[in-house]
Structure 1
């Protein structure tokens, strides 16, 4: 509607930038533009090899407790538990309309198993069920029950857990938006504005200094 041309399922093979513009070569062709924004998620280490990023595989699932009524959204909050030595877990209440999944959700936010976007095991493994149900057994025993669905996702983590949102240090026509460390989706709307600012004006009024890549220069 606003002139965007969406191209999916085209692996990026290479990219180049100079003072005149940028070029991206994919499996289906070559594209030229005035500015390039990298929002490549777990594939970022493959196309930007010098960034301090680690991709991890994360596990989440939904249980079917004997009684779901204590865990509905009007009675039970979104929650998080930092269990020393076991990990940082979070979960959502049960939503009868299914918008939050089929049952009571729990997930391991960190740590995760290091992997890559190309080699990650996308299908759930038997041990994943134990990982999800362990948090219920330890902290919410009445929420435990048969595991009715499992999924996996990939995090792209920075050393400090904050995003990288900045101009590329060597290419002023390239903007980086990566390392969202498992919680970037909540900031999608403001990140869109920030990236549009950086691409069109070279600056933004939003306070993003703490997200600059330069913070890792001496780490």
Structure 2
């Protein structure tokens, strides 16, 4: 039986949305493993819009769901329609959209809050014992979802995001870009991806392992 996986996107582009390579690699691996995928994104305004050529903020407004549809080739639904009972697992790619649109970690650090719709859905997966995969900066939401003591990685122990996560109650573990960290109690799998990756193949090595392990955990 094919596994059904929900993927939450946060826009389109590393600086203000989902990291495109991470998202595509995730979707590719899920497809290679025969999983049925449904992408979701919150129907909200982006925190801001970044010119990815210059890195400067642009004087315009964009919608997270509409931008995420670019990555999903239009096959995406409003996050409000997502139900944990319809899926076997949940995966959240990174990109600064995870810290700007799915949460306010980018501006609030350890005092951040997670978007209520994201938090409610992720906690539904957690309370149902269904595996969750988070990559890059997305694990900064882990303490809110799973509570203090959750084990995850953001790459290097001395990264400011790792320090802020520890302040929130995360048990942070350093991890190479090619590897994953698993919290067996919470069925959470994390990998650094572009927190450390120097190339798309670097990112893919860890993301493939994350996807494979998440799918394996659906059987446990």
Q: Give the structure with higher Rg (CA).
A: 1
Q: Same fold (TM over 0.5)?
A: no
TM-score of the pair, normalised by structure 2: 0.24
- Considering fraction of residues, name the structure with more strand: 1
Looking at secondary structure, tell me which structure has more helix per residue.
Answer: 2
